[in-house]
Chain A
Amino acid sequence: MVSMSALHSLTAELHAGFLTLAFVCIMVVAVSQVVVRLRNRKWMPKRFVNLAIRVRGYTEAAGYVGAALGLIGILLSAYTGMYAWPQDVLLDSAVVRNKIMFTTFSGVLWGGVLFIRARFGRGLWTCPMMAGLYTGLAFVAYGVLGMTGSLGAHLTVGESVLDPLWSLIGMRVDTPITLEANVAAGIAIACGIVFVLSLAVARRYDLFAVKLAPETCQKLFKWDEPTIELPGATKT
Chain B
Amino acid sequence: MKKRSWYLVLGLMVLAVMTFAPPLKAYNGGVSPGDYQYGSPTCHSKQSSSTITMTASDYSPDPGSSLTVTVTVTGGEASGTPLGVMIVSALTSSNSLPSDAGWTITTDPTSSTQFNYYQVNSYSGSLTASWTLNAPSTNGTYKLYAREVHGDGETYTNRYVSGITFTVGSTGTPTGFSVVISSPVDGDTVSGSIIVNADMTPAANISYAFLTIDGALVENKTAAPFAWSVDTNNYADGEHLLKVTAVNDTGGQAFKEITISVDNGGESEEMLSWMVTMGVGSIVIVTIIAVAIVIVLMIRKKLMEKMEKKEGK
Interface residues of A (CB under 8 A from B): 86, 88-89, 91-92, 97, 100-101, 104-105, 108-109, 112, 115-116, 127, 129-130, 133, 137, 176-181, 184, 187-188, 191-192, 194-195, 198-199, 201-202, 205, 207, 210, 216-217, 219-220
Cβ of B171 within 8 Å of any chain A Cβ, yes or no, is no
Q: A141 → chain B, closest Cβ, in Å?
A: 9
Q: Which residues of A contact B294 (CB under 8 A)?
A: 198-199, 201-202, 207
Most buried by A among B192, B271, B274, B293: B293
A178 engages B291 (CB within 8 Å): no
Is A216 a contact partner of B286 (Cβ separation < 8 A)?
no
Given contact pairs A104-B281, A181-B276, A195 touches B300 in the complex (Cβ within 8 A): no
Q: Say yes or no: is B143 at the interface (Cβ < 8 Å to chain A).
A: no
Say whether, besides A198-B290, A202-B297, A207-B298, A179 and B307 are in contact (CB < 8 Å): no
- Within the complex, the shortest CB–CB distance from B112 to chain A, in Å, comes to 46
Check B289 for interface membership: any CB of A closer than 8 A. Answer: yes
| New contact pairs (4) apart from A108-B282, A130-B297, A130-B300, CB-CB < 8 Å | A180-B273, A188-B283, A210-B300, A219-B307
Q: At the interface, yes or no: B182 with Cβ under 8 Å from chain A?
A: no
Contact (A191, B271) CB under 8 Å given A198-B294, A207-B301, A210-B297? no
Assess A220 versus B300: contact at CB under 8 Å? Given A137-B289, A201-B294.
yes
Q: B287 contacts the other chain (Cβ, under 8 Å)?
A: yes
**Complex alpha-carbon distance, A97 and B280, angstroms:** 15
Closest to B285 in A: A108
Interface digits, B291-313 against A, CB 8 Å rule (1 contact, 0 not)? 11110111111011001000000
CB distance from A71 to the nearest CB of B (A): 14
Contact of A188 (CB < 8 Å), options: B280, B299, B300: B280
**Contact among A97, A109, A179 with B285 in the assembled complex (CB-CB below 8 Å):** A109
28 residue pairs of the A-B complex, CB under 8 angstroms, read A89-B192, A89-B193, A91-B271, A92-B191, A92-B193, A105-B282, A127-B300, A130-B296, A176-B270, A178-B273, A179-B273, A179-B280, A180-B273, A181-B273, A188-B283, A191-B280, A191-B284, A192-B287, A194-B291, A195-B287, A198-B290, A201-B298, A202-B294, A207-B298, A210-B301, A216-B304, A220-B303, A220-B304
By a CB distance below 8 angstroms, the chain B residues around A194 are: 287, 291
Is B183 positioned at the interface, with any CB of A under 8 Å from its CB?
no
Q: How far is the CA of A195 from the CA of B297 in the complex (A)?
A: 15
Smallest CB gap from A100: residue in B: B278
> Given A129-B299, A184-B280, A207-B301, is A97 in contact with B274 using a C-beta cutoff of 8 Å?
yes
- Complex Cα distance, B270 from A177, in Å, reads 10
| Secondary structure type dominating chain B contacts | helix
- Do residues B277 and A179 form an inter-chain contact, with CB atoms below 8 A? yes
Q: A133-B293, A178-B274, A202-B297 are in contact. Are A88 and B281 (CB under 8 A)?
A: no
How many angstroms from the CA of A135 to the CA of B226 in the assembled complex?
56
Q: Which residues from chain B contact A216 at a C-beta distance below 8 Å?
A: 304
Chain A residues, Cβ within 8 Å of B303: 220
Cβ B286 vs Cβ A86 within 8 A: no
**CB nearest to A187 among chain B residues:** B280
The chain B residues found within 8 Å of chain A, CB to CB, are 191-193, 270-271, 273-274, 276-287, 289-294, 296-301, 303-304, 307
Distance in angstroms between the alpha carbons of A176 and B272 in the assembled complex: 12
Cβ of B287: which chain A residues have Cβ within 8 Å of it? Answer: 191-192, 194-195, 198
Question: With A108-B282, A201-B298 known to touch, is A116 a contact of B293 (CB < 8 Å)?
Answer: yes
Determine the chain A residues whose CB is within 8 A of the CB of B191 once the complex forms: 92
CB of B276 within 8 A of CB of A92, answer: no
The answer to whether B276 touches A184, judged by C-beta atoms less than 8 angstroms apart, is yes
A153 to B124 CA separation, bound complex (whole angstroms): 61
B contact residues around A195 at 8 Å (CB): 286-287, 290-291
Given A101-B274, A181-B273, A92:B293 Cβ within 8 A = no
Question: Which of the residues B277, B278, B296 comes within 8 Å of A127, measured between beta carbons?
Answer: B296
**How far is the CB of A227 from the nearest CB of chain B, in Å?**
22
A107 to chain B minimum Cβ distance, whole angstroms, is 8
Contact (Cβ within 8 A) B282 A133: no
Contact A184 B291 (CB under 8 A): no
Alpha-carbon distance between A149 and B243 when the two chains are bound, in angstroms = 41
User: Cβ of A108: which chain B residues have Cβ within 8 Å of it?
Assistant: 282, 285-286
Query: A220 — which chain B residues lie within 8 A by C-beta?
Result: 300, 303-304, 307
Are B277 and A177 within 8 A (Cβ)?
yes
Residues of A within 8 A of B300 (CB): 127, 129-130, 210, 217, 220
Distance to closest chain A CB from B299 (angstroms): 6
Assuming the A-B contacts A178-B270, A202-B297, are A112 and B289 also in contact, with contact meaning beta carbons closer than 8 angstroms in the complex? yes
Contact B276–A179 (Cβ < 8 Å): yes
Chain A positions within 8 Å of B278 at CB level? 100-101, 104
B186 to chain A, nearest CB (A): 20
Minimum C-beta distance from A201 to chain B (A) = 6
Q: Name B282's closest neighbour in chain A (CB-CB).
A: A108
